[in-house]
Each structure stands twice: as structure tokens, then as C-alpha cells.
Amino acid sequence: MTPWWRGAVIYQIYPRSFFDSNNDGIGDLAGIAEKLDYVASLGVDGIWLSPFFTSPMRDFGYDVADYYAVDPIFGSIEEFDLLVERAHALNLKVIIDQVYSHTSDRHPWFLESRSSRTNERSDWYVWADARPDGAPPNNWLSMFGGPAWSWDTQRRQYYLHNYLSEQPDLNFHNPDVQEAILDVSRFWLDRGVDGFRLDVANYYFHDKALRDNPATGVRDASRPYQFQHHRYNRSQPETLGFLKRLREVLDGYDDRMSVAEIASAAHIERSIEYTDGGDRLHTAYNFLFLESETLTPDLIRRGLSQWTSRDAWPSWSFSNHDVKRAVSRWGGGEPDPVFAKLLLALLCSLRGTVFIYQGEELGLAQADVPFEKLQDPEAIRFWPANLGRDGCRTPMPWQAMRPNAGFSAATPWLPVDPKHEAAAVDQQDALPQSVLNFARGFLAFRRGRAALIAGDIAFHDADDPVLVFERSAGDERLLCAFNLGAETKRATLNIGAGLLRALETGLAGTVENGHTLVLPPFAGVIATTGT
């Protein structure tokens, strides 16, 4: 029997921006619960909740100050329990973010660790003495700019932070840290969550010798981080041992899963390493598609063709809370509903588990957020080159004619882009040809196709910009073809004695004479073979 997560479609919810139930301008858990009927109507299998834990919100929840508590801006632990209960009643799985690599500098563990060099948690974080000239212990850089080390006046040592200085890295070389983190995982599994999305899972361990990272040779980059090969501050071999321990915890519960976020230059290799063998993580996604500036058949083929192991299972997303929305990143200009439909169909036809980001089912373009309203520390630090995270985190548009597109009666934490109002749920709900109703129809089509859910994939040769591959499971074989370009394309395929027959998916592509695909701009077709 195929595990539920293999080939599942998971809908990512960014709680701050989904729906505000108490009109304070910030989305909350009760708001999510109120909109779960909508999520279920999409035909997805579950939801992934970005962090809702107690936090100073320097990085909007990815700086956790209490792993066991819900931040009051999102509600209460009781409201979380009700949300899980409601989701399960709608046959939706619940996956929650777990940020194990680092904590907030307001976390009690860090407050104790920094208080002295001899306390019980003195070695729970990564501390190091200054070099003789007072400089940091090595050349490691923070993803958010500047050194990955900050000086602490209490301990008179540097501490490591791969991200903000308010996000000190835990020391996973300490067995007590591992035990504490595994206890956190058990707490949420006991509350009924169905799995974890593991934030930057390849950052858990660092090189104990604190060796300098080598230079990449890059001379022109948007941020200093790209000047180094991150050989020693991430992706250490000890990580696999901890992942196996976490897997043992997950396997102690029924039908639970883990999906890792991998931030690595070796996108696919690292993802396979962390999921292969049956005793590591269940699946992983990476930034191969999320960071790519162009969408090509070669990009898709390169991303999927390396997954040859039966144990290693990929996950894919085109958009999420960290990057510019795909319809803008790959489509440019004004959002095109036809292109948005193509992206949804392509993503949901790939071999792997699928993650759809809130608003992707509406075809939302990247929002424009003026500098004075930016909230994201990364966007502010790298302005104007990087506005990706605020522009994709603006509130979900529910009702076009309501204040703030129905997200909240109060001024929201990020502004609603006026161009999103026309794409609001209530507007698209009533239009049979809308992106929203296409998404519902395609996911309903997919649900009954074993080949699309967990089948094998094999690529066919085709001229750019046409992408053709076959999905197969048992006797079911489906040919999937997508025109990634803005001009009509024809492709004649040699499929032996069989004839192609286009299936009703809502895509605009057709089949002529049983062999020739006719693909209008940004169109696709899914066909079965027959005689």
C-alpha cells in the first residue's frame, strides 16, 4: 500500500497572512480553521503550517522562543488542537514547521547558555573564542549578510548564527541538545500532527574544527554568502545520524512523515542523501526550482532524472514563503491565468510529493510592497535587489469588495496589493474558467490516477520549449506534454502501435491522428494510449 504522503498534494499556509479571525491585522489559527472548508474544496491531501510558536518575530516565527507554546498573536494551544481536529474531520493531514537548527536569542536555553561558561547549558549553542586580533573564529558568513558570528559581552565569546544574529545556532554535537529536540518532536506528534517540515535540515551540525570555508571564485553576487563554498557550516556527515534518530521517533507513531528543506548548492544530491535507505527522512525538497529564474524542459528533466532509488522520494514546489511567486518569476509582466494553470498542472504531474503555496491556486502574482512597508529583515537588508519574501507573503485575498480583500477589517501587517483583489476567491469561485476552478478540476482528475500520484517517470525527447514525459503505474500509462513557450507547437511522437487519446483535464492541448500533439502557448495535454 502506498503511504499517504507519497504523491500527496500539500497546501502551505503562512499563518500571518491567511485569514485574520479577530481583526488585529495578523492571521491566526482560528482563521485557518475557519477557512479549512475552502482548503478541502481544492482537493489537496493536507496542509503545512509555517511557524506559529512563541517568538519575538524578528524572522516572523523562524526564531522560536518556546517550542512548546503557541504565540498569542496566533491564538492558543487549545485553538491549535481544534484546528487539527477540524482538519482531520475534513480528511486533511496536518504538517507543522519545526525549526531545529537555531532558536531565538530570547529562548530560555540561550539565555542560560550565554550567562556563563560553566552553566548546565553552556555547550548547547556554538561558542568560540575570538582570534588573537579580536576577529571572529573563522570566515563563515550569515545568509542575511555579514559574519555568521556575533560577540556576546556576558560570555566574552562569539556565538554562531547562520541567519540573523537573533537566531543563534544550536550545538547538535551535544547529545543533550539532540534529546531536547527529539522531546519537542514527540510533544507535537502526541498532539496529533501528521508530520514535520524541517527548516534548513542540513544546517544542524557544523564542523567542530571551525575550518574556514573556501572561496567560490565568484566576483559579482547579490550577497556575500555566494562568495563561499559552505563546506563546513552546513551539510556535515553527522547530520545523517540525527536524521535516523528522528526517523525512529516518527516510526513510533502511525502514518507520520517528515519533509526536509535542503538549502545546498548540491540540490538533488543532498536531497537524495537525506531520504535514501528507508531509515532517514521520508522526503525532501530543495531550491532547484524555487531559485531558478527561467523555466525550461532541461530544468525539469535535470531535477527529476537523478531520483533513481526506490527509497529516496522527492518533493517539489514552484513557490513558497521564501521566494518570488513563480508566475512572476517565470512569467514576468502581468500575471497570465493560462500560464498559472500550466504551472499548476505541470507541478502536479511530476513524480514526487507536491507543495502548493497559498494563493498559487489563484494564480497570484508577486505583490508590490513599497520600501516603507517592508517587514522582512532580508528584504530590507538587500533592498532593492531582493524583495521576494514580503512580496509573496502579503494577505490572501478572499473577497474583492471588502476592506483588505476580506483578510481583515484592521490594517494588515503587510498591505494587500490592489491587483490581487480581482483574483480574490469570491471572484474566481463564480467563474468556471478561473485558475481556482481549474486547480480544483485538475486535482480531482489527478486523485483518480495512480500513475500521477506515485508512478514512475520517463522523459521523451522533444524540441524546446516542449516538455514530454510519461508517468506509469501498473497498466496505467499517461503521456504528459507541456508547452513552456508563448508560441503554438506541434510534436509528433513515436509511441509504437498505440494511439494517444487526450484526457479531459481543462488544459488546452489536443491530439491529432493519435500521434501529433498540438500545444497552444502555455498549454498542455495529458493523454492515454489505446488502440
- Annotated catalytic sites, by residue? 199, 261
Q: Cα separation of 330 and 481, whole Å?
A: 18
Cell digits for 404?
Answer: 483588505
Contacts of 241 (CB under 8 A, 6+ apart): none
**Rounded to 5 degrees, what angle do the CA atoms 319, 161, 47 make?**
30
Contact 51, 16 (CB under 8 A): no
502 membership: H or E segment, kind and range: strand 499-502
Residue 202: what residue type?
A: N
- What number of other Cβ atoms are within 10 A of residue 401's Cβ? 10
* Helices (runs of H) and strands (runs of E) counted in the chain: 16, 21
Classify residue 296 by its DSSP letter. -
Rg (CA), the chain: 23
Pairing of strands 456-460, 257-262: unpaired
Q: Which residues pair with 195 in a beta bridge?
A: 95, 257
Torsion of CA 209, 210, 211, 214, to 10 degrees: 150
Q: Which residues pair with 528 in a beta bridge?
A: 478, 501
Contacts of 258 (CB under 8 A, 6+ apart): 195, 196, 197, 198, 246, 247, 250, 281, 282, 283
Contact 93, 50 (CB under 8 A): no
151 membership: H or E segment, kind and range: strand 149-152
Cell digits for 409?
Answer: 477589517
Classify residue 411 by its DSSP letter. P
**Rounded to 5 degrees, what angle do the CA atoms 454, 458, 463 make?**
135
13 membership: H or E segment, kind and range: strand 9-13
Contact 239, 206 (CB under 8 A): no
Q: Cα separation of 486 and 492, whole Å?
A: 19
Tell me the three-class secondary structure of 229-295, residue by residue. Answer: CCCCCCCCCCHHHHHHHHHHHHHCCCCCEEEEEECCCCHHHHHHHHHCCCCCCCEEEECCCCCCCCC
Contact 70, 29 (CB under 8 A): yes
Pairing of strands 476-483, 466-473: antiparallel
